[in-house]
Chains A and B, each alone.
Chain A
Amino acid sequence: MRKMVKQNSKLFIVASAAIVLVVIVWVVLGSHRNITQPISYNHKIHIEEAELTCVDCHLYVETMPTATIPNIEICQDCHSDEPMSDSPEEVKLLKYIEEGEKIPWQRIYAVPNHVYFSHRRHVTIGEIACSNCHGNVEELTEPPSYPLWLPTMENCISCHKEHKVTYDCLACHR
């Protein structure tokens, strides 16, 4: 009898642990659906072979709060009529350029609109490397499909504490 009780309770513990785990996994994985971009952009090739830097395309990284994702206006500076490679992705891009249609990039990094986050503040004034939050993007051959680093308040504050910069609410909340 006692054994049975014990087994029962064991079962209960296991079951509840499993449920908790499932919930956690569901929240963690479910929270970022894998995002596929319309064009599988190759950061690595642009940085290593075209010798571009981040600022060349993410124009406002050093001067504005929002870095912006480059679109055809910037792409077409290099990719005009002739394809440079035999990549099918470039063909897609050229089609967008030809039709004058914006590439519907999906944003994967963004802060909620009640947060004031400034790239200028972090990149230019704070001199934080892009890779701190965006990871080793120059090594990526295709765009990341979910954010490397979630802009949660915990993450922001822990980093701010680490760097001994203000974590006053009004510094970010607006």
Chain B
Amino acid sequence: MEIKRRDFLKLLSGASGAVALGTYGCSDIIDVPEKLIELAQKGPGIVTWTNTICGQCSAGCGIKIRRIDGIPVYIKGNPTYPVNRGGMCPSGHSSLEVLFNPDRVKEPLKRIGLKESGKWDSISWNDALQLIADKMIELRNVGKPHQVAFLDGSDQPGLMNKHIAQFMKAYGSPNYYQSGQLKNNTAPYRLLQGINQLPSYDLLNSKYILSFGSNFLEEGYSPIYYTKIYSHLRDSSEHGRTRIVQIDSRISLTAANADLWIPIRPGTYGALALGIAFVLIREKLFDDNFIKNYSFGFNDWTDNKGITHLGFRSNVISNYYPEQVSKITGVPAETILKIARDLGNSRSSVVLGDQGTVDNTNGTFSQMAVHSLNALLGNFGKDGGVYFVDLPPLADLPPFDEDEIAALGNSKKPVAQSLDTNYPLADFSIDSFTKNILNDDPYPIDILFLYKGNPLFKTLNHHDFAETLKKIPLVVSFDPFITETSEYADIILPDHTFLEKWDKFCNTPTVGFTHVGIQQPVIEPLFSTRNAADVIIELSNKIDQSVANALPFQSYENEIRFSVEKLYNSGEGAIISEGVKSSWLEYLQQRGWQIGRYNSFDEFWKLLTRNGGWWNPIRQTKDYKELFKTPSGKFEFYSQNFANIINKLIETTGGESPENREKVLHSLNISVRGDKVFLPHYEAVPIEENMPLYFITFKLLTNRDGQSSNQPMMQEMFGYTVREYWNSWVEINPETAQEYGIEDKKDVWIESPIGSIKVRARLNPGIMKEVVAVPFGLGHTSYGRYAKGYGTNPITILKNKYDMINGNPALQATKVKISLAT
């Protein structure tokens, strides 16, 4: 030991100084050495940032992961990603709790014993895949590849759905479904405009935004994109400030931020829209030019057979005068007049509808009525109106030759489409899906793949769907967690969490420009999990060469590269980049967009993965022909498309006759007759008379689909607005509460014809008097330690009702009784 005496003395004085607890007494230092070594950081603490795409919900925000010595510790929004521009939502911030969740499935699992027994045994990847492949080969060998179904819960347009579709097609099954409602939700636009896409709204340029139940700041497809827009609307000077009017049964986040909240009875949005149309027509506040030249069925018209048909105008004028509408909706007639006049007189004004409007049995018709207001205002192809975004120039998956077995399988009728006349515009109806599988109609399903989404938690017909899952001999789940749905799986092939995997997303619905986002791993996989896409490639290789040919890629990452290469070749758009630090508004208005400079695809790819995405802000002006792909080539108030569909249905029921027509309309539950059926109209929602209160559910930013329930941070924040944590509540208007003798923070029973739930009452003046609302997302019976047993799932007492046209679950069609729980 060569420590000098002086040093030793210094040491001694230093230590005894600590002992003597001097002026700044830091007593903890006494026990330092051991503690120090324990607490000392392990690495140098080198910070790196990686850009990727958030996978917490379908919005697809660009995020930046802060990694310290390779371990992700913090997330912030990617400031250059055009969708969210650095913004994030609470749920995105809890992504690390997905990655590091203690309840993750760490290796492939095989069920032991009965379904839902909760007992699992580990199985090697190879065995599991071989087992599935053998089953699939067997089905193909007996010529029944169509008896395989794939249920994809992601509601996100990207590469994954194409990947699965390609696989299923090559295998020979028409039964690939996205259980999200994205495709179903386009039904109104299919009927009115013939467009199979959700519109985007140019909110930035509009001066008056009338939202029919569209909770775009919270429940929309991309709440953060709309929050950014909202923020810019509010940033503008007082003069000419955009007014936002929200029509909703309760004060949602959007209503709270709107200038005016108009409470409305659930299920009557369509009537209100038509009431507003009445005023617009009466007071001649509509766009004459547009109506005259680009619309069909506004006035009464005569077809080539000489039959006069009812026009939109006559229908509205005769049936939807404000007093009548006021009776239906509960909105005072003066209010209807006022908003209609404001709407008609503001240039420009835009009307949007979602959630409240569409989540009901009459959703499609209501949304048609709402959208027809945009037509009255001539809101197509103009600033501050409605527009449709182009698809990015991505490469389609390479074409392949399907073999005979596959061709035969693909020719079969998809099992989730209705065999009778229900839900004519449904792309996927869970109601038909369960009914048909349970009845082996037209054929049984032997293998079901489940990817993302936890459909069992969200379905109204919980029992039937559970039975379906029990019935199917082999259910394979790709879930990285054991959810309610995967409790019924036979094999779980755990997927990576989104922070460990490659994926590619494009064009988040309703976002107003073309964009592509690249999701990439920010950390090596923590456990023995595999990207579901890679598993599918592997499976295809195991099954048959002809199936394998459809997905000729080493890995999913290569597939993404392949698909993106066309983006590079197209020369359109640009990789998102910093550089321009101007505001977002200026970004959008910037038309002369310059293309980034990259000399090779490799360079492009490197930059793309580094920056996290590509976008093309230039919106091509489209002429009306492209916007209206209807038989008339115009905006059809009178939907000829719908008329054709109904006619086809009538034909299948036995040919045109008034009886058959009546039969079809009756089985569709459409109450009106004649031409009104094809016009936007109000369909009364069938409700129980003996129940006094409407029951609705809503979603919160903290837990949009119940998928964040296994993240303690989100569970804690769940009801931050009402200061309820880890718990559900029911919002009741104070006056209603008084009527039923209910006090704040007391438990109440909510009883519907289906069942009853016990929830804590929270009095809230921001809800209609005849409505009670429970947030959706909690009440899990599985899904890990943080989710199981907290809160209540309101879906369990909803009636088994669906939109009569597109088969979406009707979340607001139930009425209930409430009473104080003792």
Contact = CB atoms under 8 A, between A and B. Distances in A.
Given A112-B28, A113-B41, A150 B22 contact: no
A154 B2 contact: no
A31 B15 contact: yes
Interface residues of B, number: 33
Interface in B586-624: none
A60 interface: yes
Contacts of A149: 10-11, 14
A155 B17 contact: yes
A28 interface: yes
Given A107-B40, A154-B22, A24 B14 contact: no
Interface stretch (B30-38, B86-94, B557-565, B729-737): B30-38
Contacts of A144: 3
Contacts, number: 93
Given A66-B45, A110-B37, A110-B40, A24 B16 contact: yes
Interface residues of A, number: 37
A7 interface: no
A53 interface: no
A31 B44 contact: no
A154 B17 contact: yes
| Most interface-central of B16, B19, B29 (chain A CB within 10 A) | B29
Question: Which applies to chain B's interface (DSSP): helix, strand, loop or mixed?
Answer: helix
B731 to A, nearest CB: 41
A31 B11 contact: no
Contact of B32 (A59, A66, A148, A150): A150
Contact of B15 (A33, A108, A150): A150
Interface stretch (A83-91, A92-100, A133-141): A133-141
Given A64-B44, A140-B2, A157-B24, A152 B17 contact: yes
A27 interface: yes
Question: Which applies to chain A's interface (DSSP): helix, strand, loop or mixed?
Answer: loop
Nearest to B21: A154
Contact of B33 (A24, A32, A113, A139): A32
Contact of B44 (A68, A139, A157): A68
A28 B29 contact: no
A28 B22 CA distance: 15
B114 interface: no
Contact of A110 (B1, B39, B46): B39
Nearest to B37: A107
A64 B2 contact: no
Contacts of A24: 16, 19
A9 interface: no
A112 B19 contact: no
Given A107-B40, A148-B7, A28 B26 contact: no
Nearest to B17: A154
Given A112-B36, A145-B1, A153 B29 contact: yes
B627 interface: no
Given A135-B3, A149-B11, A152-B29, A110 B19 contact: no
B24 A64 contact: no
Contacts of B41: 66, 113
Nearest to A144: B3
Interface in B499-558: none
A85 to B, nearest CB: 20
Contacts of A111: 36
A88 B18 CA distance: 39
Given A106-B37, A110-B37, A66 B15 contact: no
A146 B43 CA distance: 21
A156 B236 CA distance: 51
A24 to B, nearest CB: 6
12 contacts: A27-B15, A27-B16, A31-B31, A66-B41, A67-B44, A110-B37, A112-B28, A113-B41, A140-B2, A153-B24, A153-B26, A154-B18
Interface of A: 24, 27-28, 31-33, 59-60, 64-68, 106-108, 110-113, 135, 139-141, 144-155, 157
Given A60-B46, A65-B45, 7 more contacts: A33-B33, A112-B36, A152-B15, A152-B26, A152-B32, A154-B14, A154-B22
By Cβ-Cβ distance, the 5 closest A-B pairs, closest first, are: A110-B40, A153-B26, A110-B36, A60-B44, A152-B18
